Amino acid sequence: MGTLDEKDLAIISILQRDARTPASTIAERLGIPENTVRFRIKRLVERRVIRGFVAIVDPRQIGLKVSAAFMLKLEPEHRDDAINELKSWKEILNIYQFTGEYDLIAVAFTRDLNELQALVDRVKRVKGVRDANILVTTRVIKSQPTYSLD
């Protein structure tokens, strides 16, 4: 697979700030040929270092006004089935598996508290979910979709 060099990291850094930055602009900033930038971006995508190019949206601006973290304890024999079920739901955007008291934390977004309650009920009915502790977000302090490459 190989490691990332300084040019790869510089390209990623530029694209994280604005994924619409043309290869010609990146090439100019980095002092390398445009076809080299295009080749490197293609390689980064193929290696899944870059998983996609998306617009970063404020969920509240598109009507998703309630977010919550679902801290879940799973039955080991049904863990994979429960994870696959939860992964398929549009309301759940992130799922993290942990060590410790809870097995998973799933972050979900809904339009209102009624939708959130319906989601809570659905989660509790998933085969393999032994216990669920739901924390409703009261304030977003930091939500950063990019990574520091320094």
Question: Per residue in 52-84, pLDDT tens?
Answer: 999 999 999 999 999 999 999 999 999 999 999
Q: What integer pLDDT is reported at residue 73 of this predicted model? A: 98
* pLDDT band of 149, cuts 50, 70, 90: confident
Structure-token match 């990623």, residue found:
12
**20 and 71 inside one domain:** no
**98 and 123 inside one domain:** yes
**116 and 63 inside one domain:** yes
φ/ψ (deg, to 5) at 81: -65, -45
Structure-token match 């300084």, residue found:
6
Tell me the residue length of the chain.
150
Phi-psi domain of 105 (left: phi exceeds 0; alpha: psi -120 through 50; beta: other): beta
Q: In this prediction, what percent of the chain has a pLDDT beyond 90?
A: 91
Residue type at 37 in one-letter notation: V
Does 147 reside within a domain?
A: no
Does 67 reside within a domain?
A: yes
pLDDT tens-digit readout, 100-112: 999 999 999 999 9
The domain containing residue 11 runs over which residues?
A: 6-46
φ/ψ (deg, to 5) at 101: -65, -40
Structure-token match 């309650």, residue found:
117
**79 and 101 inside one domain:** yes
**39 and 66 inside one domain:** no
Does 21 reside within a domain?
A: yes
Domain count, the chain: 2
Q: In angstroms, rounded to a whole number, what is the distance separating the alpha carbons of residues 119 and 116?
A: 5
Record the tokens describing residue 16, joined without a space.
């994280």
User: Cβ distance 89 to 70 under 8 Å?
Assistant: no
**16 and 69 inside one domain:** no
Q: Is the pLDDT confidence value at 13 over 60?
A: yes
Domain with residue 35: its CATH number is: 1.10.10.10
Record the tokens describing residue 96, joined without a space.
């993290």
pLDDT tens-digit readout, 20-32: 999 999 999 999 9
**33 and 77 inside one domain:** no
**70 and 34 inside one domain:** no
